[in-house]
Amino acid sequence: MRSSNAFSRYIAFPILAALIIFLAIPGSANANGGLGITMNGAVGASVINGVNYQFFSFRPDISIGKFGIGLDLSLYFDSDGNIRKEDWDQTADIVEKIYYVRWGLPGDPFYIRAGNLSPVTLGYGLIMRRYTNSIEWPSVRRVGMQMEVHTGSVGVETVIGNFRELESPGLVAARVTYDLDLILPLRVGLNAAHDGNQYLGAKDEDNDGIPDRNDVFHGKDDIEFSRQIRAEVGDAGAQRLVDIGAIPDIFNLPPTIKDLKDPVTVLGLDVGLPLIQAEIFSLWTYAQAAQIIDYGMGIAAPGLVFTMGPFHAGAEYRIFGKHFRGDYFDMSYETSRVFWDEALDSLRTKESLLDSLPSANGIWADMGMTFFGLVEIYGSYQNMSYDGGESTQGVYASGGLKGGLIPKITKAEAYFQQPDAKELFSTTSDGTVIGYKVGYEIGQGVSIIYDNKSIYHNGKATKIMTIETALTF
């Protein structure tokens, strides 16, 4: 850790500074044609779970033809003026300054995006729906990847949640489609999503591998520090200190995130059939099924998707066996894959909640629309009745407005997710996410942006609030 510390302090920052200047110079010299450059800077304050930070950030965004890159170089300071060092203390932190890098656009023969992922849905969504790796941004930054390749009758999509977790791996997913021309023109899809270790979602502020809630020496490397104590006072001496309660039991340290390793895998299959494929609209019917390994199976059939220009709508009937959850990898997945269970007084995985899920059936429907790239709205609704009579509803809604439509409003976005609630909107059930962002122009190239989000778990909210003055130059 020491060496990477020095690396970031003495080497990485100058490299980044040089990179920005290098990227900025050709832009200012030749800012037309296929080249688009925006330079944004911001100063502001962020409240991340009750802790105040001041920040300065510099956010260049460059696009050249199909290529685009955006960086976010922020310095966060706490109220004592200390830099938030977890942003800069590891070599991997450098990579996290990349907001995104992309080539092409979704639906192109080749599309790739790394960095912050905008909501990703795999196929018809029974396994992964509107997953994002940036739900806690900017307090937690993850650099992931989404890729699409379409060639002839074959299509491939892959998703990586976080490159930092690639070793285990963390969340990875893939979809392969094949267009068959039998009696009917079918599109068959195979889907797989795998989280190699759900415990990677546990917070570990001091990076010693032991989750915060179990950590015995906060801010220190538990394993290294225990070794030091034993070297200093000897094993017998250390044992005496443990016995009298002067130090925690350093001979039986809590398990690390690696020790706790617990994967979850969901596999799926779908078949789609175009009923109408006209110039201005299309109607597809589909059926999809998924199996959570070691748990239950779910089917959605029949399903219908209608698209007409920028409008689309869909609906499906869902039949879930027991121990199955649809849209398992959803918007709040990164915060729900592992959580602290107060009653059990231990960390628990999202997977373990499947144990108590009865079978269920019901409907799911969605609708979305964009107007000239300026307004975007999307909503989905689910109503399931469980074996035993209980019924729950789920909703996802989002809306966005780009600048230029309403005077002075440079942007407006809002989203709401409540995956599974007995009563919609009234309670803040697990996985509920509420967020909004509004930008107001106060002068030429200067706007105030207010960004607020709450992510609910165990009835408690993780709140991330940012207010900034953003400059475009």
Least spacing, CB of residue 323 vs Ca ion, in Å: 12
State the Cα–Cα distance between residues 214 and 430, nearest whole angstrom: 22
Integer Cα distance of 88 and 111 in angstroms: 30
Position among 42, 114, 117, 210 found at the interface with Ca ion (CB under 5 A): 210
Q: Which is nearer to Ca ion, 222 or 316 (CB)?
A: 222
Is 433 among the residues that bind Ca ion (CB under 5 A)? no
Is 346 or 427 the residue whose CB approaches Ca ion more closely? 346
Burial 169-207 (b: 16+ CB within 10 A, else e): bbbbbbbbbeeeeeeeeebebebbbbbbbbbbbbebeee
Q: Does 195 sit near Ca ion (CB under 5 A)?
A: no
Q: What is the Cα–Cα distance from 55 to 363, expressed in whole angstroms?
A: 45
Q: Binding of Ca ion at residue 215 (CB under 5 A)?
A: yes
- Dist CA 190 CA 175 (whole Å): 6
Q: Which of 86, 87, 262, 441 binds Ca ion (CB under 5 A)?
A: 262
Contact with Ca ion (CB under 5 A): which of 86, 206, 341, 441?
Answer: 206
Query: Tokens standing for 293?
Result: 């390994």
Task: Examine residue 263 and say whether the peptide bond preceding it is cis (omega within 30 degrees of 0).
Answer: no
Give Dmax (Cα) for the chain: 81
Query: Nearest residue by C-beta to Ca ion?
Result: 215
Q: 372: alpha, beta or left, given left = phi > 0 and alpha = psi -120 to 50?
A: left
Q: Which of residues 218-237 bind Ca ion (CB under 5 A)?
A: 220, 222
DSSP code of residue 59: E
How is residue 198 annotated by DSSP? G
By beta-carbon proximity to Ca ion, the closer residue of 262 and 341 is: 262
Size of the site for Ca ion (CB under 5 A): 11
The only residue of 72, 148, 195, 208 in contact with Ca ion, by rule CB under 5 A:
208
- Beta-bridged to residue 421, according to DSSP, are 393
Report the nearest approach of Ca ion to the CB of residue 132 (Å): 23
Residue with Cβ nearer Ca ion (266 or 401): 266
Instruction: Please identify which residue in 53, 111, 199, 217 interacts with Ca ion, judged by CB under 5 A.
Output: 217
Site string for Ca ion, 343-382 (x = CB under 5 A): --------x-------------------------------
List of residues contacting Ca ion (CB under 5 A): 204, 206, 208, 210, 215, 217, 220, 222, 262, 264, 351
